[in-house]
A and B are shown apart, each in its own frame.
Chain A
Amino acid sequence: GENVEQHPSTLSVQEGDSAVIKCTYSDSASNYFPWYKQELGKRPQLIIDIRSNVGEKKDQRIAVTLNKTAKHFSLHITETQPEDSAVYFCAAIERSNYQLIWGAGTKLIIKP
Chain B
Amino acid sequence: NAGVTQTPKFQVLKTGQSMTLQCAQDMNHEYMSWYRQDPGMGLRLIHYSVGAGITDQGEVPNGYNVSRSTTEDFPLRLLSAAPSQTSVYFCASSNRGSQETQYFGPGTRLLVL
Please judge, given known A-B contacts A93-B98, A101-B59, whether A43 and B42 are in contact too, CB under 8 Å. Answer: no
A43 touches B45 (CB 8 A): no
How near does chain A come to B60, taking the closest CB pair, in angstroms?
12
B19 near A: Cβ within 8 Å? no
B107 near A: Cβ within 8 Å? yes
Q: Which residues of A contact B74 (CB under 8 A)?
A: none
B53 near A: Cβ within 8 Å? no
Interface positions, chain A 48-65, Cβ under 8 Å from B, are 49
B102 touches A46 (CB 8 A): yes
How near does chain B come to A37, taking the closest CB pair, in angstroms?
11
Q: Give the tally of cross-chain contacts (CB within 8 A).
A: 53
Selected contact of B56 from candidates A32, A91, A97, CB within 8 Å: A97
Against B, the Cβ 8 Å flags (1 = close, 0 = not) of A27-43 are 00001101010000011
A32 touches B99 (CB 8 A): yes
Q: Which residues of B contact A99 (CB under 8 A)?
A: 33, 45, 48, 58-59, 98
A98 touches B104 (CB 8 A): no
Please judge, given known A-B contacts A9-B40, A43-B105, A89-B43, whether A100 and B90 are in contact too, CB under 8 Å. Answer: no
Q: Which residues of A contact B42 (CB under 8 A)?
A: 6, 89, 102-105
A44 near B: Cβ within 8 Å? yes
Selected contact of B106 from candidates A43, A103, A105, CB within 8 Å: A43
A100 touches B45 (CB 8 A): yes
* Interface set of B (CB-CB < 8 Å, partner A): 33, 40-45, 48, 56, 58-59, 90, 97-99, 101-102, 104-107
